[in-house]
Amino acid sequence: MIKYLILALALSFTTITSANDLPGAPEGGEPDIRISYKDDSTYYEYRINGILKEIKVVPSAGKPYYLVPSENEGQMQRLDKSTLLIPKWVIFSW
């Protein structure tokens, strides 16, 4: 019974607040990653400050590829490598 109460409380909390108000929401410059599944593929949308920067498409069979907005309005360009430059540091290594 307590599990259902906690679940109901958690669901009501997520519907009241926006994604930017939640703890751990991306700060300025950090990508917001949304994952969706469609047609036997996984799509990772990378947004920075609400602007779509690229989409990583991982098909169930085959190599992953990236869709990047082109200079033409509303069109996407297909690439084999990511264009995002996200700083990644190794803090500990064994």
- The pLDDT, as a whole number, for residue 27 is 55
pLDDT digits (tens, 9 = 90+) for 29-63: 567 889 999 989 999 999 888 888 899 999 999 89
* Neighbour count for residue 78 (Cβ, 10 Å): 10
66 CB-contact burial (10 Å; exposed 0-12 / middle 13-18 / buried 19+):
buried
pLDDT band at residue 93 using 50, 70 and 90 as cut-offs = confident
For the chain, the domains span: 28-82
The DSSP H or E segment spanning 16 is: helix 2-16
Fold of 28-82: S-adenosyl-L-methionine-dependent methyltransferases (2.20.130)
